[in-house]
C-alpha cells in the first residue's frame, strides 16, 4: 500500500479555504470547528526549470501604466447588456476579461437574468453557455420564451472545466461572453473532492479567472447560496472574482433585487430593481422606486433608504405579540439580526415597552435586504406601532428616516436632501426627530 508522506498533504478548511500543515479541531483563520479536511498538496513548478527563456529562466513582462491609453482602452472595455438596471449595478456594463459571480437562491431567476443579458448583449460576437445543470434543449426553450434569437447563443453541455479550457482559442475568437451555470457543479480533473467541495470550487474558479484574463472574454459565474444566505463554498471564492452580485427576492412575489457587494470596476453598493413577469424580468427603472405595500396600517413603518446612489421607499412591518415562552422569540428578515436586537433593546429601554415578555417579528416588505441605518427609525416606529396597536402618522403619509443610537438619540444620515425629495415625490412627509421618544406624537389617537 502506498502511503503519502506528511509533505504531500495539507489540511484545507471547508469554510474559508485556508490551508494548514497539520490538523486542528478549530480553524485558526475563521474559527469554524471540525472544518479541516485532508487534501493533496499542490506542487509548484519553479520558474528556473520551466523553460521559455535563456538559461531556462521565464521572461517576466512589466507594463508601465503610462503606456496605456485610458480613453481608447475604456471605450472598448465595457459591453452593454442593454438592460439598464443590470448595467447600473455592474458600473457601465460587462467589463471584458472580468470574472463576475452572480449568486442567489434556487428559483429566484438567476438563469433568466443572465440569459436575457446574453440575448441583449450589444456585440457582434456570440455567447457561450456552459451548462452543467440543464441540456441545450432546455436552454433553447428559455431563450424562446424570452423572445431571443437562439442562434446567438451556443451551449456546451459539460460540468468539466477541462472541456472549456480545451477550446480556449475558440473562446477568444468567437465569443464575447461566457456563462457558467454553476460553479457548484463544475469540477476539475486531478483535484480531490466531489463537485461543489471547497477544493473543487477553488480550482475551478482559479482556472476560470485565468481563462478570462488570458482571452479577454468576460465570464459570468452562477453560484448557489446556503440556507443562511451566504454563497456556498469557501469565502475565498468571493475574493478571487472581480464582481460579486446577489439576486434576491421572495419566490411568491414578483419583486427581484440585484445588489452588488463587490465591484472592482464601480460602486459596490448599487442596486437594480426588477419584476418577474411571464416573459422574463422587467426593469423597474426610473427615479422613483416605491417598494412599499400597505404603508399605513398598524405595525408598519415607511422609510427612504439609500441603496447606492438611488433613494428607495421601503416598508418595514413589525409584529409584537405576547409570548408564552421563557425566552421570547426575535425574528428579523431583511435586516441584520444583531442590528435588530439592538433596536429592540433600545425601544424597550427608552420607550418603556416591556418587550422582554413579547415575541418580536420584523420584516422588510418584498423580501429584500437593507443595510442603510437610515431605516432604524422606521423599524423602531413599526415595533412601537404594533405594541400600541395604532398606525403611524394619524392618517398622514409619513416617512421615518434616522439612525438610532444606543441612548435613544436619532442621528441624521447621508443624502437627506435626496431622501426628502423622494418622499415629496411619493406624497409623503419626511419626519425628522432627535429622539425616538418623539415617535409617540405620530401615532394615531
Q: What is the pLDDT along the chain (445 residues), one digit of tens a residue?
A: 444 455 678 888 877 777 888 888 888 887 888 888 887 765 544 444 444 444 545 567 788 888 877 654 455 788 999 999 999 999 989 999 999 999 999 989 999 999 999 999 988 899 999 999 999 999 999 999 999 999 999 999 999 999 999 999 999 999 999 999 999 999 999 888 889 998 899 999 999 999 999 999 999 999 999 887 788 888 889 999 999 999 988 777 888 999 999 999 988 888 899 999 888 999 986 656 788 876 668 999 999 999 888 899 999 999 999 999 999 999 999 999 999 999 999 999 999 999 999 999 999 987 788 889 999 999 999 999 999 999 987 667 899 999 999 999 999 999 999 999 989 988 899 988 999 999 988 886 5
What span, in angstroms and rounded, lies between the C-alpha atoms of 243 and 218?
A: 11
pLDDT attached to residue 369:
84
- Regarding whether 309 and 191 lie in a shared domain, the answer is no
What span, in angstroms and rounded, lies between the C-alpha atoms of 275 and 253?
A: 9
Domain CATH number, residue 149:
3.40.50.300
- Regarding whether 220 and 125 lie in a shared domain, the answer is yes
- Regarding whether 140 and 106 lie in a shared domain, the answer is yes
Which residues form the domain of 160?
77-283
- Regarding whether 305 and 278 lie in a shared domain, the answer is no
Q: Tell me how crowded residue 294 is: count the other CB atoms within 10 A of its CB.
A: 13
- Regarding whether 251 and 107 lie in a shared domain, the answer is yes
- Regarding whether 237 and 385 lie in a shared domain, the answer is no
Do the domain assignments include residue 68?
Answer: no
What span, in angstroms and rounded, lies between the C-alpha atoms of 322 and 380?
A: 18
Q: Name the domain boundary from 254, 283, 312.
A: 283
pLDDT attached to residue 73:
47
Do the domain assignments include residue 125?
Answer: yes
What span, in angstroms and rounded, lies between the C-alpha atoms of 444 and 3?
A: 77
The string of DSSP letters for 281-332 reads EEE--SS--B--SS-SSTTEEEEEEEETTEEEEEEEEEEEEE--SSS--EEE
Total domain count for the chain? 3
Do the domain assignments include residue 71?
Answer: no
pLDDT attached to residue 44:
47
Among 317, 342, 339, 350, residue whose Cα is nearest residue 438: 350
- Regarding whether 272 and 332 lie in a shared domain, the answer is no
Do the domain assignments include residue 288?
Answer: no
Among 181, 154, 177, residue whose Cα is nearest residue 93: 177
- Are 292 and 314 in contact by the 8 Å Cβ rule? The answer is yes
What span, in angstroms and rounded, lies between the C-alpha atoms of 30 and 27?
A: 6
Domain CATH number, residue 348:
3.30.230.10
| Alpha carbon distances (Å) from 12 to 42, 43, 172, 193, 242 | 12, 15, 34, 11, 23
What span, in angstroms and rounded, lies between the C-alpha atoms of 98 and 81?
A: 14
pLDDT attached to residue 396:
73
State the alpha helices, DSSP H only, in 217-262. Answer: 236-240
Contacts by residues 257-264 (CB-CB < 8 Å, ≥ 24 positions apart): 257/366, 257/368, 257/369, 258/85, 258/86, 258/89, 258/113, 259/89, 259/307, 259/369, 260/89, 260/90, 260/308, 262/238, 263/89, 263/90, 263/91, 264/98
pLDDT attached to residue 295:
62
- Regarding whether 334 and 377 lie in a shared domain, the answer is yes
11 sits in which H/E element: strand 9-13
Do the domain assignments include residue 396?
Answer: yes
Do the domain assignments include residue 219?
Answer: yes
- Regarding whether 262 and 147 lie in a shared domain, the answer is yes
- Regarding whether 330 and 201 lie in a shared domain, the answer is no
- Regarding whether 131 and 236 lie in a shared domain, the answer is yes
Do the domain assignments include residue 59?
Answer: no
- Regarding whether 252 and 125 lie in a shared domain, the answer is yes
Do the domain assignments include residue 49?
Answer: no
| Neighbouring-strand partners of residue 358 | 322
Amino acid at each position: 500500500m502506498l502511503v503519502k508522506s506528511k509533505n504531500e498533504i495539507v489540511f484545507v478548511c471547508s469554510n474559508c479555504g485556508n490551508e494548514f500543515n497539520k490538523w486542528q479541531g478549530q480553524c485558526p483563520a475563521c474559527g469554524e470547528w471540525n472544518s479541516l479536511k485532508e487534501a493533496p498538496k499542490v506542487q509548484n513548478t519553479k520558474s528556473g526549470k520551466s523553460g521559455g527563456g535563456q538559461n531556462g529562466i521565464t521572461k517576466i513582462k512589466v507594463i508601465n501604466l503610462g503606456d496605456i491609453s485610458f480613453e481608447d482602452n475604456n471605450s472598448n472595455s465595457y459591453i452593454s447588456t442593454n438592460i439598464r438596471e443590470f448595467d447600473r449595478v455592474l458600473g457601465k456594463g460587462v467589463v471584458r476579461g472580468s470574472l463576475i459571480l452572480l449568486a442567489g437562491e434556487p428559483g429566484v431567476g438567476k438563469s433568466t437574468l443572465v440569459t436575457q443579458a446574453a440575448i441583449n448583449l450589444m456585440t457582434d460576437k456570440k455567447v457561450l453557455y456552459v451548462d452543467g445543470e440543464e441540456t441545450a434543449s432546455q436552454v433553447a426553450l428559455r431563450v424562446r420564451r424570452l423572445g431571443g434569437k437562439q442562434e446567438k447563443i451556443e451551449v456546451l453541455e459539460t460540468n468539466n472545466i477541462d472541456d472549456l479550457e480545451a477550446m480556449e482559442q475558440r473562446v477568444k475568437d468567437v465569443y464575447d461572453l461566457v456563462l457558467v451555470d454553476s460553479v457548484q457543479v463544475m469540477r476539475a480533473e486531478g483535484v480531490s473532492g466531489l463537485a461543489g467541495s471547497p477544493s473543487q470550487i477553488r480550482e475551478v474558479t482559479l482556472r476560470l479567472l485565468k481563462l478570462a484574463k488570458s482571452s479577454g472574454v468576460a465570464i459570468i459565474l452562477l453560484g448557489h447560496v446556503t440556507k443562511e444566505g451566504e454563497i456556498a463554498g469557501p469565502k475565498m471564492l468571493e475574493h478571487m472574482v472581480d464582481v460579486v452580485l446577489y439576486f434576491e427576492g421572495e419566490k411568491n412575489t414578483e419583486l427581484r433585487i440585484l445588489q452588488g457587494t463587490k465591484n472592482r470596476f464601480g460602486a459596490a453598493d448599487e442596486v437594480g430593481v426588477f419584476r418577474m413577469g411571464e416573459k422574463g424580468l422587467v426593469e423597474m427603472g426610473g427615479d422613483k422606486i416605491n417598494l412599499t405595500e400597505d404603508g399605513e396600517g398598524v405595525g408598519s413603518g415607511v422609510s427612504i433608504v439609500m441603496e447606492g446612489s438611488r433613494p428607495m421607499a421601503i416598508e418595514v412591518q413589525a409584529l409584537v405579540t405576547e409570548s408564552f415562552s421563557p425566552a421570547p422569540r426575535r425574528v428579523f428578515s431583511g435586516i441584520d439580526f444583531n442590528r435588530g436586537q439592538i433596536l429592540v433593546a433600545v425601544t424597550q429601554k427608552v420607550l418603556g415597552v416591556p418587550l422582554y415578555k413579547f415575541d418580536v417579528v420584523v420584516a422588510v416588505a418584498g423580501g429584500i435586504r437593507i443595510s442603510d441605518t437610515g431605516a432604524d427609525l422606521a423599524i423602531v416606529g413599526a415595533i412601537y406601532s404594533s405594541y400600541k396597536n395604532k398606525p403611524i402618522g394619524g392618517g398622514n403619509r409619513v416617512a421615518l428616516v434616522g439612525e438610532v443610537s444606543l441612548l435613544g438619540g436619532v442621528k441624521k444620515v447621508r443624502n437627506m436632501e435626496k431622501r426628502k425629495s423622494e418622499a415629496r415625490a411619493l406624497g409623503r412627509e419626511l419626519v425628522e426627530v432627535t429622539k425616538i421618544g418623539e415617535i409617540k406624537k405620530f401615532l394615531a389617537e
